[in-house]
Amino acid sequence: MVGRRGDCSSPAPAQATSCTWFRRGAEQGRAECMFELGQACAGVSESARYWLGRAAAAGHDEAMNNFGVLLLNENPELAEYWLTKSAKAGCHAAQLNLQECSRR
């Protein structure tokens, strides 16, 4: 699937500082910060699910894609909903992911 970054669950000092700022922005409702925080938590599935879900619900197209990818194995229908919504918002990765899902 297209769209997931590597695991940043044990960040270097500079990453820890940026995570602090992303968390502050996310807690203020900023979708881009929620997305970045969800990406940074990719190795910690519950945290990633929480922040990517919040960013997706706030309308962040890449977050919708990544949240859909995260849900594929456990809830394919909900995953397809988010991938479709992301694709309609113009996210190319979601369009590719939907094509891959249709081949399964």
Structural domains in the chain plus CATH codes:
13-102 (1.25.40.10)
| Torsion sign, CA atoms 91, 92, 93, 95 | positive
d(CA 45, CA 80): 19
Condensed to tens digits (0 to 9), the pLDDT of residues 17-71 reads 778 888 899 999 999 999 998 888 766 778 888 999 999 999 999 999 999 999 9
Give every CB contact of residue 12 below 8 A, 6+ residues apart in sequence.
Answer: none
Higher pLDDT, 100 or 54: 54
- The mean per-residue pLDDT over the stretch 2-6 comes to 42
The model's pTM: 0.75
Measured distance between the N- and C-terminal CA atoms of the chain, rounded to whole angstroms: 13
